[in-house]
Copies of this chain bind each other. A is one copy, B any other.
């Protein structure tokens, strides 16, 4: 996409230079202000926060549809609760190294470092606290301390809870708005079930929710079961959802974990079953964050600015009156009437009646990514019509009598175009993996992998081979796709036919 003269004039970097475009755009569109004096902690400005809250609303709707209940846990967690978690994580790690089924484990000894990522509170007022606390990086520990108090019998299950809260990670890597931050706007669902199967059903429900959300955000995703070495600490398995960013690197925007009864054993979360026996619950979690907004910005934006999916656009329609020397009053009054009608239909609309040129207004709303612009001038009004300009391109004129239906139709068109463009970007950035030859400890690729692309391959090799590929290419294994090949293909290493579809990528 070529840079528009207007954009160049305003100093907008080309999106091809994504590294500069992204940080410029999150501030130019007034999503956040990065000048707050703590690195990795941005101030959410009204436009950004409203967008995020609209994303949250999509999540709330899905949670309500699936009978999850919203809770809100304290931010602070006492240090001693971490011990159980550390114990669990460390034992699981050892078990994996030794090839033991983690569900066979019993928890006894050994503590190690989760502590590297958290902010510590050891002082309050002028007091040194006896019992240090830390800011939640995520809430397993806090929640699973309470679950045993809430779960008595099978009648209390499934327990489906979630919260949307601020979490904290002491990031030492480079920070990036929405993508890698130290205070995270975080969604976490935590569920408990009678058995493994019911927990698995929950995982499937979560993936359906992810699908619904991505449909609303207009971007395609890669869904894979993460390899063992990339599984969330404490999880039996992790399914992760990745977006392909403009630079071809992938960004994990959601993840779903099946915990089996591992955490239940660590936190003693039991229930009484039908026959009066005490059993451990099986648990799952599902996490998302403000990265959803980061991915939206990155996927849809262009050289003129953002393009907001109508489902989360704080302003879905902006009306720009084109004033003439006479008849201006008439136009403003007609525009106000349109605002009234659109609001009645719950369409988020804004009338831009600032005293500046229409062209200036266009640029401003293009930067903010308002999906639809309505222009209303004297000629339009005379012909009882108005002009619709889609942020994804092209204009159409409609009759004023058909305001609501035409706006709905135009927003649908914007959605359609956004999906097409995102899908086409997605497809263009996935390449077939070249053939790999592995003999003993030597590996050779038919062709070097290119940065800026995700590689797809049929793969039925083992973990050691996967690791060799990672090492040789410098790419990471996202994992095995949850949508395998419908017809078997030859494994890039062994040549044996397999349904397994695996992705390799450079990741954020």
CA distance A149 to B123 in the complex (A): 32
> Which residues of chain B have C-beta atoms less than 8 A from A107's C-beta?
none
* A127 to B37 CA separation, bound complex (whole angstroms): 19
Quick one: CB contact mask for A111-152 with B, threshold 8 Å, 1 for yes? Answer: 000011111111111110000010100000010011001100
Mark each residue of chain A from 21 to 46: 1 if its CB lies under 8 Å from any CB of chain B, else 0: 00000000000010111100111111
Known: A35-B149, A50-B70, A120-B123. 5 other contacts (CB 8 A): A36-B145, A38-B133, A74-B183, A115-B125, A120-B121
Main secondary structure of the interface of A (DSSP, over half): mixed
Minimum distance in angstroms from A231 CB to a CB of chain B: 22
A2 at the B interface (CB under 8 A): no
Residues on the B chain within 8 Å of A115, using CB: 125-126
Beta-carbon contact of B133 and A124 below 8 Å:
no
**A73 with B43: CB separation less than 8 A:** yes
A170 at the interface (CB under 8 A from B): yes
The answer to whether B74 touches A38, judged by C-beta atoms less than 8 angstroms apart, is yes
Known A-B contacts A49-B72, A146-B33; the reply to A126 vs B116 at CB < 8 A is: yes
Q: Does A76 contact B (CB under 8 A)?
A: yes
Interface range, A side = 35 or more
- Contact between B33 and A124 (Cβ–Cβ < 8 Å)? no
A443 on the interface (CB 8 Å rule)? Answer: no
Say yes or no: A166-B75 contact (C-beta < 8 A), given A46-B70, A121-B120, A126-B116: yes
Q: Which of B33, B38, B122, B124 contacts A170 (CB 8 A)?
A: B124
Residues of B within 8 A of A70 (CB): 46, 49-50, 53
A123 to chain B: which residues have CB within 8 Å? 119-120, 122
Task: List, in ascending order, chain B residues with CB within 8 A of A46's CB.
Answer: 69-71, 161
Indicate whether A227 reaches chain B with its CB closer than 8 angstroms: no
Give the nearest-CB partner of A37 in chain B. Answer: B78
A81 within 8 A of partner (CB): yes
Assess whether A142 is in contact with B75, with CB atoms less than 8 Å apart. Answer: no
| A149: B residues at CB distance < 8 A | 33, 35
CA distance A49 to B149 in the complex (A): 18
With beta carbons under 8 angstroms apart, the residue of B43, B150, B183 that contacts A146 is B43
A142 touches B72 (CB 8 A): no
Asked if A45 and B74 sit within 8 Å, CB to CB, the answer is no
Closest to A124 in B: B170
Chain B residues, CB < 8 A from A44: 71-73
Q: Contact: A75 with B43, CB < 8 Å?
A: no
Closest 10 CB pairs of A and B: A46-B69, A44-B72, A41-B74, A120-B123, A124-B170, A116-B125, A125-B170, A119-B124, A49-B72, A119-B121
Interface residues of chain A, those whose CB is within 8 Å of chain B, are 33, 35-38, 41-46, 49-50, 53, 69-76, 78, 81, 115-127, 133, 135, 142, 145-146, 149-150, 161, 166, 168, 170, 172, 183, 185
Residues of B with C-beta under 8 A to A172: 125
B117 to A125, Cβ gap below 8 A? yes
24 contacts between A and B (CB under 8 A): A33-B150, A35-B146, A35-B149, A36-B74, A36-B142, A36-B146, A37-B81, A38-B78, A38-B133, A41-B74, A43-B71, A43-B74, A43-B146, A46-B70, A49-B71, A50-B70, A72-B185, A117-B125, A118-B125, A119-B123, A121-B121, A121-B135, A125-B170, A127-B170
- A121-B119, A125-B116, A125-B117 given; A76·B161 CB < 8 A: no
CA distance A122 to B45 in the complex (A): 28
Q: Which residues of B contact A116 (CB under 8 A)?
A: 125-126
Nearest opposing residue in chain B for A128, CB measure: B120
Please measure, in the bound complex, the distance between the C-alpha atom of A16 and the C-alpha atom of B88, giving whole angstroms. Answer: 48
Residue of B nearest to A126 (CB): B116
Question: What is the chain B residue whose CB lies nearest that of A121?
Answer: B119
In the complex, what residues of B have CB within 8 A of residue A121's CB? Answer: 119-121, 135
Nearest B residue (CB) for A80: B37
Give the distance in Å from the alpha carbon of A33 to the alpha carbon of B148 in the complex.
Answer: 13
Chain B residues closer than 8 Å to A33, beta-carbon distance: 146, 149-150
- Interchain CB contact under 8 A, B120 and A183: no
How near does chain B come to A316, taking the closest CB pair, in angstroms? 16
Cα-based distance from A498 to B118 in the complex (angstroms): 59
Residues of B within 8 A of A76 (CB): 38, 41, 119, 183
Contacts of A183 in B (CB 8 A): 74-76
